[in-house]
Amino acid sequence: MMEMLMQVVVAFVATVSFAVLFQVPKEQYLYSGICGAVGWLCYLLVMNSYPSPTVSSFAAVVALTLMARIFAVRRKTPVTVFLICGLFPLVPGAGIYYTAYNFIMGYNDLAVAKGIETIKIAVAIALAIVCTFSLPAPVLGKLSGVRKKL
């Protein structure tokens, strides 16, 4: 449990660091960090119950995208500010690295296996974003607590 908490804290700090690098407005640092931390927490929780990086990434990105859309409405900020920063801990960068490494070293079987896993994760991330963005605005309005003025 303590290790999971440490990972979530590191994901928060890494996301805020990326937000600084990405030149996000200072007042959005906290919310960007929360998006990254919640996405990573969701990833860890799903991995504990169903150990599949693809399924875990999909679930985490759905939660992250919902949160990014809610923050965007409440904070009157473009959703990409929260979404891109929040995705930072979930992007399969290590998978891309190990695919290239194994290919260069001549371990073609490992390179293909790692490459396929990385592509599955990337597709899961893209599908999760598309599915979550396809939710109608009235549903988002109810989730974010914003009421339509008549």
Residue 150 has pLDDT above 50, yes or no: no
pLDDT score, position 46: 96
Distance between CA atoms of residues 74 and 68, nearest Å: 10
Angle at 98 between CA 132 and CA 48, to 5 degrees: 50
**Mean per-residue pLDDT over the chain, rounded:** 91
Which are the contacts of 28, defined by CB distance < 8 A and separation ≥ 6? 19, 75, 77, 81, 82
In 3D space, the residue among 78, 3, 4, 89 whose CA is nearest the CA of residue 39 turns out to be: 89
What confidence tens digit (pLDDT) does each residue in 62-114 have?
999 999 999 998 899 999 999 999 999 999 999 999 999 999 999 999 999 99
CA distance 54 to 60: 10
pLDDT tens, position by position, 5-51: 999 999 999 999 999 999 999 999 999 999 999 999 999 999 999 99
